């Protein structure tokens, strides 16, 4: 099978260096001298997936407060230090990891990495900052209700993931966020923020050996927590298995457009079906030549935004197709989306369609690895998910090897009955004859 090698091998002359420090911390470094800047992405194996359901939003709240105080620096002092060298520093939480992102001009990198280390190792989590960020988070949760797309996504996720932590938004819910205490944040920090649970990924104008030595110098003396019996093990996670029970979830909202969303439970990243599903997602919903775009927008004018997404997840993911459409078109839109997905189960792609989808996926994958930050992100992410940096190549080979037959079998296996999520005015909802089952 031929691949578009020129674009797929964008990084071939740049080597990814990987080192493991004595304390278990993984360091990745790629030299890119094109510009006088360095980006770092520091990943922690924590995030939404690791939160107890009654503490949903814990990772997000910790990330918000993490940059707002250490033993000897106040929130304002931290902000001034970062901004006085024109750097960028921010923390965030995702479903499968927490992350601190950093970008600086090369000369300031060491100083900023040192500051980042202080924040990550010994945040003071000031009570007043916890309260401020909690209030802002609660308002943020309410504000998501202003966006029809967010409402559709939220109710779909809840229906599909049931008791699994992926069911809840990363901000948490009003109930859970109201309850999280400063002690909960400390406890969570102590449990997961430890060197053997970290990946530091650095890309830019810095020699790999230098980058690795710098991380060792700054983080090397940080030890994994010990008790008399030895190292404290990381908690083992038992998450509920998710089974598919398709249903309809509906919000009646006085909007100008109806959002129609179909979701199917889909494979986790470690599953052998991952590559085929990614390719199906590209073929169906990515770009101006995708099937959904051509059939539903170009040929029928039903939508401005019509697309598909299949996020990369450690646990079961979701394969979602959606569009926003005039309320009077809701039934047609639902039908159209469904037909296009089902066509993948019944009709194999032609060789040309298959090759085009591969070229598109691999070409755009390569275009997504241009900036220092993008390169640092992708390798660090593969490492924290347990895929290893080799996954970059492996994924491209797997995509190149997918056959039309595999795509059809995979589609058939995953795309049986969809979950349906609808948001729109009553005239949109009324078109969908079957009442909500809840």
Partner 1 sequence: MIHQNIPTTSVVAVDVWVRAGAIAEPEPWAGMAHFLEHMVFKGTDRLLPGQFDQVIEDRGGMTNAATSHDYAHYFINTTAPHLAETLPCLADLLLNAAIPDDEFERERDVVLEEIRQANDDPDWLAFQALIESVYQSHPYGRPVLGDEVGLMQRSPQEMRCFHRAHYQPENMTVVVIGNVTQSQTLDLVNQAFSQFPVRPTCPAAIADAEPPITEIRRQELHLPRLEQARLMMAWIGPGVDQLRNAYGLDLLSVLLAGSRSSRLVRELREDRQLVQAIGSEFSLQRDSSLFTISAWLAPENVDRVEALIGDRLSELTTTPISDAELTRYKRLLCNDYAFSTETAIQLAGLYGYYNTIAQAETAVDYPNQIQTFKAEELQHLASQYLSPYHYAATILKPL
Q: Residue 211 is encoded by which pair of tokens?
A: 């980058």
Question: Cβ closer to partner 1: 198 or 293?
Answer: 293
Inter-residue contact 36 to 209 (CB < 8 Å): no
Neighbours of 9 (CB within 10 A): 14
Q: Which residues pair with 317 in a beta bridge?
A: 266
DSSP state for residue 11 in the 8-state scheme: T
Question: Cβ closer to partner 1: 136 or 178?
Answer: 136
Q: Residue 118 is encoded by which pair of tokens?
A: 């202080």
Choices 142-150, 182-190, 236-244, 313-321; region in contact with partner 1 by CB under 8 A: 142-150
Whole-angstrom distance, CA of residue 9 vs CA of residue 44:
28
Interface pick for partner 1 out of 54, 83, 231, 430 (rule CB under 8 A)? 83
When asked if residue 87 is in the footprint of partner 1 (CB under 8 A), the reply is yes
Interface pick for partner 1 out of 235, 288, 433, 438 (rule CB under 8 A)? 288
Interface pick for partner 1 out of 84, 241, 346, 434 (rule CB under 8 A)? 84
Q: Which residues pair with 324 in a beta bridge?
A: 259
Task: Considering only residues 354 through 383, tell me which ones interact with partner 1, judged by CB under 8 A.
Answer: 355-356, 359-360, 362-364, 366-367, 370-372
Q: Could you give phi then psi for residue 417, rounded to 5 degrees? A: -95, 130
Question: Whole-number minimum distance, CB 429 to partner 1, in Å?
Answer: 16
- From residue 424, alpha-carbon distances to 34, 148, 222, 296 in Å are 49, 8, 52, 19
Whole-angstrom distance, CA of residue 25 vs CA of residue 195:
5
With 0-12 CB in 10 A as exposed, 13-18 as middle and 19+ as buried, what is 26? buried
Question: Cβ closer to partner 1: 355 or 409?
Answer: 355
Interface pick for partner 1 out of 187, 217, 223, 289 (rule CB under 8 A)? 289
Inter-residue contact 70 to 168 (CB < 8 Å): no
When asked if residue 183 is in the footprint of partner 1 (CB under 8 A), the reply is no
When asked if residue 291 is in the footprint of partner 1 (CB under 8 A), the reply is no
Choices 33-41, 189-197, 205-213, 337-345; region in contact with partner 1 by CB under 8 A: 33-41
Interface pick for partner 1 out of 7, 101, 118, 413 (rule CB under 8 A)? 7
Whole-angstrom distance, CA of residue 264 vs CA of residue 338:
11
Inter-residue contact 320 to 341 (CB < 8 Å): no
Interface pick for partner 1 out of 148, 195, 208, 380 (rule CB under 8 A)? 148
Q: Could you give phi then psi for residue 137, rounded to 5 degrees? A: -65, -45
When asked if residue 224 is in the footprint of partner 1 (CB under 8 A), the reply is no
When asked if residue 427 is in the footprint of partner 1 (CB under 8 A), the reply is no
Question: Whole-number minimum distance, CB 290 to partner 1, in Å?
Answer: 8
Inter-residue contact 177 to 135 (CB < 8 Å): no
When asked if residue 1 is in the footprint of partner 1 (CB under 8 A), the reply is no
Q: How many residues form the binding site for partner 1 (CB under 8 A)?
A: 66
Contact footprint for partner 1 (CB under 8 A):
4, 6-7, 10, 34-37, 75-76, 79-80, 82-88, 103-105, 132, 135-136, 139-140, 142-143, 145-148, 253-257, 287-289, 294, 297-305, 324-326, 355-356, 359-360, 362-364, 366-367, 370-372
């Amino acid at each position: 099978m031929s691949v578009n090698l020129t674009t797929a091998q964008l990084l071939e002359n740049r080597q990814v260096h990987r080192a493991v420090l004595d304390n278990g911390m993984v360091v990745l470094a790629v030299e890119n001298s094109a510009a006088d800047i360095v980006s770092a992405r520091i990943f922690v194996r924590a995030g939404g997936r690791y939160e107890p359901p009654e503490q949903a939003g814990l990772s997000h709240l910790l990330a918000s407060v993490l940059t707002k105080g250490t033993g000897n620096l106040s929130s304002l002092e931290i902000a001034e230090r970062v901004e006085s060298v024109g750097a960028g520093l921010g923390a965030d939480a995702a479903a499968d990891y927490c992350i601190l992102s950093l970008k600086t001009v090369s000369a300031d990198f060491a100083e900023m990495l040192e500051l980042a280390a202080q924040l990550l190792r010994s945040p003071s989590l000031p009570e007043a900052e916890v309260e401020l960020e909690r209030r802002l988070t609660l308002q943020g949760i309410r504000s998501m209700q202003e966006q029809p797309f967010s409402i559709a996504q939220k109710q779909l996720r809840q229906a599909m993931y049931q008791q699994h932590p992926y069911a809840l938004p990363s901000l948490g819910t009003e109930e859970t966020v109201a309850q999280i205490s400063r002690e909960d944040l400390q406890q969570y920090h102590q449990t997961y923020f430890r060197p053997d649970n970290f990946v530091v990924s650095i890309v830019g104008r810095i020699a790999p050996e230098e980058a690795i030595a710098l991380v060792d110098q700054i983080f090397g003396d940080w030890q994994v927590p010990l008790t008399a019996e030895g190292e404290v093990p990381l908690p083992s996670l038992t998450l509920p298995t998710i089974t598919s029970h398709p249903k309809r979830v509906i919000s009646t909202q006085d909007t100008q457009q109806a959002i129609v969303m179909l979701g199917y439970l889909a494979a986790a990243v470690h599953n052998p079906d991952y590559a085929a599903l990614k390719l199906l997602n590209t073929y169906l919903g990515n770009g101006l030549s995708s099937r959904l775009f051509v059939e539903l927008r170009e040929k029928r004018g039903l939508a401005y935004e019509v697309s598909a997404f299949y996020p990369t997840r450690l646990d079961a993911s979701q394969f979602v197709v959606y569009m926003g459409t005039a309320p009077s078109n809701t039934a047609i839109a639902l039908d159209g989306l469904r037909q296009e997905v089902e066509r993948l189960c019944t009709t194999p792609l032609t060789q040309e369609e298959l090759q085009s989808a591969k070229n598109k996926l691999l070409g755009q994958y390569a275009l997504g690895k241009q900036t220092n930050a993008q390169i640092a992100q992708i390798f660090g992410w593969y490492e924290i998910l347990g895929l290893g940096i080799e996954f970059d190549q492996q994924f491209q080979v797997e995509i190149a090897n997918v056959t039309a037959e595999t795509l059809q079998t995979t589609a058939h296996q995953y795309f049986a009955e969809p979950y349906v999520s609808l948001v729109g005015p009553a005239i949109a909802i009324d078109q969908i004859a079957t009442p909500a089952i809840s």
